[in-house]
Structure 1
Amino acid sequence: MSKKISLKAARLLVGLSQKDAANKFGVHYQTLASWEENPKKMKREYLELLPEVYFISEDSIFFGDENEFNRYYRKRTC
């Protein structure tokens, strides 16, 4: 199983603010903030834009809320 990163981490790795990334997805920045809290909220049409916007595949994103990601990450680093 490959390591996964959060949606927020993917955005930060390419150096985008929430507003800049939201513009690239064609959504309001608050929508993007909601996705970063829980990527399960993203619709398929936006998931398909991940490689274009963040240069990362959908398979590399952790699809769970922030608490789930923190638990996942702690397990992977122990």
Structure 2
Amino acid sequence: MKITLRAARVNAGLNLVDASELFGINKDTLAKYEKDSSNVPRSFFSRIEEVYGFPVEYIFFGPQSDFFRKLKTA
């Protein structure tokens, strides 16, 4: 089962500000990625496992609304 980008951050025990600092991006940018991760740049993508300690293949990439819509139909 996959989790959202936001869930990966929360599971890592990080708030939005701390996580954005670890990624070297603005907190508003990270919040945007969490709402729709379908267009995250490769530089961010490659650091997810390092920052969150969670395998990238288990993270859902796309609009967060699609993730929750798929959960309801599953």
**Shorter-chain TM-score above 0.5:** yes
Query: Structure 1 length as normaliser, TM-score?
Result: 0.88
Identity of aligned residues (%): 35
Number of residue-to-residue matches in the alignment: 74
Tell me which of the two structures has the higher relative contact order, counting C-alpha pairs closer than 8 angstroms and 6 or more residues apart.
2
Structure 2 unaligned segments of length 5 or more: list them. none
Query: Structure 2 length as normaliser, TM-score?
Result: 0.93
Which residue of 63, 67, 70 corresponds with 2:68? 70
Structure 1 unaligned segments of length 5 or more: list them. none
Where has structure 1 moved over 6 Å in runs of 4 or more?
Answer: none
Q: CA RMSD in A?
A: 1.0
Secondary structure of the residue that 1:27 maps to in structure 2?
A: coil
